[in-house]
Structure 1
Amino acid sequence: MKHPSRSAREPDPLAALRSATASRHQALDSGLPIGADDASLGDYASHLAMLRAWLAPLQAWLTGFADGPQCGPQFDQAQRLALIEQDLAERGMPAAPLPAPAASDWPAAASPAWRWGVCYVIEGSQLGGAVLYQRLHRRLAPHPLRYLKGNEAGPGPRWRSFMQVLREQVRSPEEILEACAGACAAFDSILALDRYRDS
């Protein structure tokens, strides 16, 4: 009788994260004006302002830890904020609205697994950005849509690298539950900003 391999017996954190956040992901995707067929440059400005309000406090919080996904240059978030600022300053860009302040009370004692879950949402958002870039870059030209485009290699290599390290670092059932909780918190934070913008 063949015994299952170790990898077959171990729970898959990616599958768990996808399942835990599926309804939140759907709610976000279906409610973003930037995803509409008639999305405008103004919608892009609003989208960037919301992302800036979400990412800036998250980055400040993550830099307070000496372990976890924020360590090492391969998953640095600073460049993304820089691209947002460059896009918002582009000639002809409509003025961006000012969203409500994002949650700033991220837990000071969050486990590495919980933070891996948060970063799963941040990293995954860039995959959606690449899809939006393909849909919008001709219609919204000459704006370069720097944030959506990312680097020339696209988000795929970074995402694959991120998921490889996440699977190495988040392994036990307890760690996977922690990661799912962090991911849900990250989605809830940006969903709160999206709802405020439309109120």
Structure 2
Amino acid sequence: MSLRTELRTATAGDHERLDATFATFDLADAAAYRAFLRAHARALAPIEQAIAGSGATAGWRPRAPLLADDLAALGTPPPPPLPLDRPDEAALWGMRYVVEGSRLGGALLARQVGAGLPAAYLGAQHAKGEWRGFLDALEAAGEAGGAAWRAEAIAGARRAFHLFAASVAEEKAPDERR
């Protein structure tokens, strides 16, 4: 079984729960969209910071700067990042799988962003061949690393999903605050 299939299968429940959680944000509403971006920033910043210092960066284009630009355009500074203990190399590949995969969903979500609201972060799609190139590099790293490495990559992907889920608790959609 490919590592991509293992990752997708092992994290399917995490992915579904996170999608349902983020679906509570009305991206056409400026306040809800701001909270959505702040939640993403709380999780994305520490994950990308960890990836930046790893061997999982081949072909990688970070999106945290785009997210910070979108927040600045909304008059909001980036929120403090959630804490993240330094993951090992395999876990970082799993985390990168999550953030690279979120580009695919981001392209769909960008269509829901309200008129006049910045959408550089959600609109940052993969360049032609970039997703395939990442998946090929991921598979090669998984093959070289063996079963324990693959298990740690899966744990890293799950950890990324959980970090994003935790970020929402800090930035509830405005209609959910009471």
TM tier relative to shorter chain: 0.7 to 0.9
Aligned: 1:76 with 2:61: yes
C-alpha RMSD of matched pairs (Å): 2.4
Tell me which amino acid in the other structure corresponds to 2:100. E
CA distance in 2, matches of 1:173, 1:12: 12
Q: Which runs of 5+ in 1 are unaligned?
A: 1-10
Q: Percent identity?
A: 31
TM-score, length of structure 1 as denominator length: 0.75
Match of 1:29 in 2: 19
In the TM superposition, 1:38-117 aligns within 5 A as 39-65=28-54, 67=55, 69-70=56-57, 72=58, 74-77=59-62, 80-90=63-73, 93=74, 95=76, 98=79, 101-107=81-87, 110=88, 112-117=89-94
- Flag the structure with larger Rg: 1
TM-score, length of structure 2 as denominator length: 0.83
**Match of residue 166, structure 1, among 138, 153, 165:** 138
Q: CA 1:157/1:43 → structure 2, altered by over 3 Å: closer, same or farther?
A: farther
Q: Which runs of 5+ in 2 are unaligned?
A: none
Q: CA 1:85/1:25 → structure 2, altered by over 3 Å: closer, same or farther?
A: same
Structure 1 moving runs of 4+ over 6 Å: none
**Residue-pair matches, total:** 171
